[in-house]
Amino acid sequence: MNPYTHIKKQDRQVYAALEGEEARQAEGLELIPSENYVSLAVREANFSILTNKYSEGYPGKRYYGGQKYTDIVENIARERAKKLFGAQYANVQTLGGANANIAMYFALLQPGDTVLGMDLSHGGHLTHGHPVTYLTKIFKFVRYKMKDADTGEIDYDEMRAVALREKPKIVLAGFSAYPRELDYAQFVSIARSVGAYAVMDIAHIAGLIAGHAVKNPFDYGFDIMTSTTHKTLRGPRGGLILTRESEELAKKIDRMVFPGLQGGPHMNNIAAKAVAFGEALKPSFKMYVKQILKNAKAMEGVFKAANIRLITGGTDNHLLLADVFGSMGITGKEAESVLDEVGITLNKNAIADDMRGPMDPSGIRFGTPAITTRGFKEKESARVAELMVETLHKRTDQKALKKIHVEVKSLCKRFPIPKSFA
């Protein structure tokens, strides 16, 4: 089925780009750990008739008329999100993970207040307080790091000392490139010791939490969780804010999302979230996320056998971070480029205390959500890792690279992108 028949007739330039991207995704292996494939049902919801409708406000309290069906859809999304994560309240209107974090900050903080978050070079996210973001002009961010990059152990003693000294209003857990599981009890203990909110950015591991493959921070007393709805959750690109039990906090967040920071929500996207949340509630989703972890471990084994240094020494989740510059003398940018040549997509990434710049760092970041969606198991995942290592070793051998690309295409043909999830 060609979903672009009308675009083909009306706009050949855009059609050509869409067709090109369809082919790229079909014929290549997606290893960027923040990307995944959605079902056709999610795609249909995302380009549905709801794209025409303004729905400023919340169900039962809209500013425009004609909201019968928008209220139904948003309530479905909220109830399914609450069930997935064990939350009392859910806001499904945020347009992305960054938006969710920004709304959370403005709901809980006053200008000048302090946030304790993970250092970007040790696995944190831009919105956790990197100096390039505008957030740092409004709030004060202090950071914690790993004690040992080869084990991934967080320096919780230093983190507690920083909290006692700086008195943050938010102690923020969560990451963008950290392959291990955090000690949630430590975070909550540190937050409570200074009267701070305990917040977890679960964007990367939301699906793993929803599928009970890793621990749920709410079980340890976190107040709020922010998230994207894509990545391991396998939904449309969007954001989500969950409140464990405080109605007061939930009201503050709702008021900050709208009217504080956003106008009318994208109801087509909320419908797609509702469909994706419904898929994540199925028993098959639990099997899927557990396979993500198995596949990541299979890839870990290959890189260790090849003596390529893995930051934190391996992985407990869906992603891995490899120091290719230190291990092989190739920069992250060069590795990303040559792997792209053979149809393997991942991203260059800084490693802990990287001496190289962010646009040409020492590491690469890759993960298993998308290939697991295609049906890869441990055997195929290990083979992908072997092909990655071979590509990096033979990066100047065009004949070898062409041979690897043929095998990548063959794997993709054997495991096509599924249209639906059982």
The one catalytic residue in 143, 231, 348, 365 is 231
Q: DSSP states of 388-403 as a string?
A: HHHHHHTTT-HHHHHH
| Active-site residue, 378 included | no
SS3 readout for 208-251: HHHCCCCCCHHHHCCCEEEEECCHHHCCCCCEEEEECCCHHHHH
Determine whether the annotation assigns residue 124 to a binding site. Answer: yes
Angle at 359 between CA 205 and CA 381, to 5 degrees: 45
Find the helix packing angle between 398-414 and 332-341, rounded to 10°. 70
The one catalytic residue in 19, 35, 44, 56 is 56
| Active-site residue, 219 included | no
| Active-site residue, 184 included | no
Report which of 69, 81, 85 is spatially closest to residue 267, judged by C-alpha positions. Answer: 69
| Active-site residue, 254 included | no
| Active-site residue, 56 included | yes
| DSSP alpha helix (H) spans, 281-331 | 283-305, 324-328
Determine whether the annotation assigns residue 314 to a binding site. Answer: no
The one catalytic residue in 94, 127, 133, 228 is 228
The one catalytic residue in 30, 201, 254, 390 is 201
Phi-psi region of 58 (alpha: psi -120 to 50; beta: other; left: phi over 0): beta
Distance in angstroms (rounded) separating the CA atoms of residues 335 and 326: 13
CA 128 to chain centre: 14
What's the token pair of residue 226? 């922010």
Determine whether the annotation assigns residue 126 to a binding site. Answer: yes
| Active-site residue, 54 included | yes
Find the helix packing angle between 398-414 and 378-393, rounded to 10°. 160
Check if the beta carbon of residue 30 is closer than 8 Å to that of residue 370.
Answer: yes
Determine whether the annotation assigns residue 116 to a binding site. Answer: no
Q: Coil, strand or helix: which one is 173?
A: strand
Distance in angstroms (rounded) separating the CA atoms of residues 195 and 16: 55
Determine whether the annotation assigns residue 301 to a binding site. Answer: no
Strand locations in 20-164 (E): 29-30, 57-58, 61-62, 89-91, 114-118, 140-144, 146-148, 153-154
The one catalytic residue in 160, 237, 309, 348 is 237
The one catalytic residue in 54, 113, 156, 341 is 54
Binding residues: 120, 124-126, 247
Q: Which residues are catalytic?
A: 54, 56, 201, 228, 231, 237
Binding residues for (6S)-5,6,7,8-tetrahydrofolate: 120, 124-126, 247
